[in-house]
Amino acid sequence: METIPNCPKCESTYTYEDGNLYVCPECAHEWSKDAVEKEEAGLVVKDANGNVLVDGDSVTVIKDLKVKGSSDGIKVGTKIKSIRLVEGSDGHNIDCKVPGVGAIKLKQIFVKKA
């Protein structure tokens, strides 16, 4: 029998499985099974403040970023929803879609958990 992990946000033991997600009834936090598997496999991505990020989190950009091939960049305070964590050898561990820019990979040191 598979053990359901505690909630990563509030450490509640009352989590339950809902399709491909785990759900915490106490704090309403939802996270994917893939995020748990990646964490167990050793992929732990932390934001600029040291908070652990998981797939599906929302983050905010903390520094103006230039984008190659574009005159516009990503401004401070841009909120990015539904990130996906990937194994990046060059430090670009966040795969996401930035409003007005499109699909891009970001380094974790330039974002904070929203």
Return the pLDDT at 105: 92
Maximum CA extent, the chain? 53
Return the pLDDT at 38: 64
| Burial readout 30-54 (b: 16 or more C-beta within 10 A, e: otherwise) | ebbbebbebbeeeeebebbeeeebb
Return the pLDDT at 42: 67
Q: Which residues of the chain fall below pLDDT 70?
A: 1-2, 35-42
pTM: 0.63
Return the pLDDT at 37: 67
Paired tokens of 45: 């991505």
Return the pLDDT at 87: 84
Return the pLDDT at 66: 92
